[in-house]
Structure 1
């Protein structure tokens, strides 16, 4: 199966989260044509749903290898030099929202699956594809995995096709990710005239020490596989239009990207304790979107590295950098590694992927499947 043509067909579906816009139907049709048993599943309700997901499988017995990814994309934004949903090829480059992240990789997976089927499809090969990776990720891979487990589908290993390569195809794979925590802090006060501070209660006076204390803590210096954890204040809000009024409320939002030195709940408790020290009545809302995890270098990363080396001559760096991905959910059921196209253009205007890279990625995935399913 020609991967670039399939990538174009997927790009032509404007599947901005939570819309599917037919992307999973295109994918299910391609996989169904190869003999895969395709199950389309819809989870959740508005505002974060419903979300369409796809589980597709072929073969039986072991080993069970899974490809995973997402067909949803971020909004296109303004300023494109081409139609972001036309799938245009220019000078050997495929342009379009999702070309790099990650419709190009999904098309390469299907191409490799076609070659696998042509070889007789030993073992079990499956696809775990969601429409909710770029959004809240509430009704996507996490729910799909629970459905799979309840129906007896448990892969032995999984590759997520996120755009992991840093500069050149094959120069990096992701064997883990830092965790992520978001916190919203709202400090209440009492509005009043600035000339009569004794008649008011300025919440900013308590919010600032909270943020100072939080930022003052040295979280860690990094670990063997992870960079240091970092806390960033991402928003401050008072919304006071007047120069002579003490506001009634001050809010802040922060994010912590943390390594395997920490658990999300421990950091959440520290934030709550710090806030309570300065503002006992403040409201604190915390969401942990993922814990730090590591797939220790081993069989899966070696198989991928060997396939990359054979195709490109490069030895991929083992990395845990970057944001969160759906690998944070998959890691609870099997070893998982992320490997895909170069990601310099992901989420940007004029997102693109090299046609040659998409074709080479399909060959890398094919080499990987040949190794995974090689006779013992």
Structure 2
């Protein structure tokens, strides 16, 4: 039986799988700003070459970095690793950048320690475990069938997913340049953290932006001579959080992963005001993120925020503001009636003995680019979205191994459905 063979081979690979993930975590690819990208891609390229892949590194031209990497600096390399000449073309997609580790960890976030059958570290869940899972799912299957004859497999290891954007230096760039397209790819499999029992067919909509409130400088001893941008901001911030309270009362009918995220939300995640304690602040800038549920439209979410600003402007002649959007996308929903979703569902049931849940990821990810390019895609990965970006981020070793079994069996079943395997 195919699953018995997969189980046996994954068990034989276990220590190598764990070590491979630990090595990836130990390279701190924090974004912003985009640290150690070249080091990571060099390491991954050598690793995949040793597994029999042909590799190509695609760098974004320096002239385009201000546009495609607005929140970072330095090279933006994309790694494409290819094996096989089969008719069924599968592209795996994993981003290698991670959010900054921050403070408060009980372990060093880049030591990749193993404690109680968990691998800890920044990127353990989001999503270097996904990269390891996609690579070893192919390696396991190579021990059972002639993968290169049935498939053309490509791994796209991309940067800059974490800083999102309507355009970016990763998946957007490789699609724009034609390396990944509807004409050369049958399916894309993302391995973002979904939880091993879940299949993601899209993500919620999102609106990221910055609001700058403008004032006038003055000495702290004579504040009446200035216009206090911080004070002007307080009413706006209060109304934004009142809007969040209203949003929390809405509930979607769609399945969302994780399942307890059923409401839209709005946060102010960053505030920067003033230059010195003894000066009236002439600027106050805050960044916000508005998450949508599928029943909402992006344009309406945008209007709610603009209306708060315009209302304040009408009531206060001194109030001036600048509004800038960094990222805006409506909810993305992929069609699940195709052999890829069928194969993945069957594989989860076989490996885990559960009926998989299909839903939309609460956070956005690069599937928006493949969706708009018309390339059928799915997301399935070993990490849990609840642990992404968290202090003491980890992945369960059992989940990592099971995800490899699921992906390997999915490829096998998909090949059978397309008549690529005897």
TM-score bucket (shorter structure) = 0.7 to 0.9
Deviations 1:182-218 (A, max 9, x none): 2222233445699999866555675455456655666
1:315 equivalenced with 2:366 (yes/no) = no
1:340 maps to 381
Partners of 1:276 and 1:282 within 8 A in 2: no
Q: Is the 8 A contact 2:60 2:77 kept in 1?
A: yes
Equivalent residue number for residue 24 of structure 2: 10
TM-superposition CA deviations, 1:230-256 (whole Å, max 9, x none)? 2333345554735xx865444443221
Distance (Å, rounded) in 2 between the aligned partners of 1:23 and 1:203: 43
Query: Match for 1:353 among 355, 376, 395?
Result: 395
Partner of 2:214: 188
SS in 2 for 1:100: coil
Task: Say if 1:159 and 1:338, in contact at 8 Å, map to a contact too.
Answer: yes
Return the offset for 1:68. 1.0
Q: Residues 357, 278 of structure 1: CA spacing in aligned structure 2 closer, same or farther, 3 A cutoff?
A: closer
Q: Given the alignment, which residue of 220, 237, 258 partners 2:292?
A: 258
Q: Does the 8 A contact of 1:71 with 1:130 survive in 2?
A: yes
Contact 1:162 / 1:338 at 8 angstroms: preserved in 2? yes
Query: Secondary structure in 1 aligned to 2:126?
Result: helix
Cα root mean square deviation, aligned: 3.4
Give the corresponding residue for 1:55: 80
Task: Trace 1:20-39 onto structure 2 (pairs within 5 A).
Answer: 20=37, 22-39=39-56
Secondary structure at the aligned position of 1:260 is classed as: coil
Q: Distance in 1 between matches of 2:27 and 2:224?
A: 60
Q: Does 1:306 align with 2:346?
A: yes
The match for 2:155 is 127
| Deviations, residues 135-168 of structure 1 (Å, cap 9, x unaligned) | 4562112112222357886422222111211xxx
For 1:128 and 1:135, the matched residues in 2 are separated by 18
Give the Cα separation in 2 of the matches to 1:111 and 1:313. Answer: 22
2:409 counterpart of 1:364: no
2:326 to 287, 296, 307: 287
Say whether the 8 Å CA contact 2:129–2:383 is kept in structure 1. no
Cα deviation for residue 319 of structure 1 reads 2.5
Task: Rate the CA distance shift 1:355–1:151 in 2: closer, same or farther, 3 A.
Answer: closer
**Is contact 2:119–2:397 with CA below 8 Å preserved after alignment?**
yes
Q: Which residue of 221, 227, 247 corresponds with 2:250?
A: 221
Aligned with 2:194: secondary structure? coil
Change (3 A) 1:35 1:349: same
**1:158 paired residue among 188, 197, 200:** 188
Q: 1:114 aligns with which of 120, 139, 144?
A: 139
The answer to whether residue 266 in structure 2 is matched with residue 231 in structure 1 is yes
Q: 1:144 aligns with which of 163, 174, 178?
A: 174
Moved more, 90-99 or 178-187: 90-99
Higher helix share: 2
Partner SS state of residue 174, structure 1:
strand
**Is the 1:70–1:132 Cα contact (8 Å) retained in structure 2?**
yes
| Cα separation, 1, equivalents of 2:234 and 2:121 | 43
Q: Is the 8 A contact 2:206 2:329 kept in 1?
A: yes
107-116 or 264-273, which moves further after superposition? 264-273
Unaligned runs of 5+ in 1: none
Note if contact 1:66-1:159 (Cα within 8 Å) is conserved in structure 2.
Answer: yes
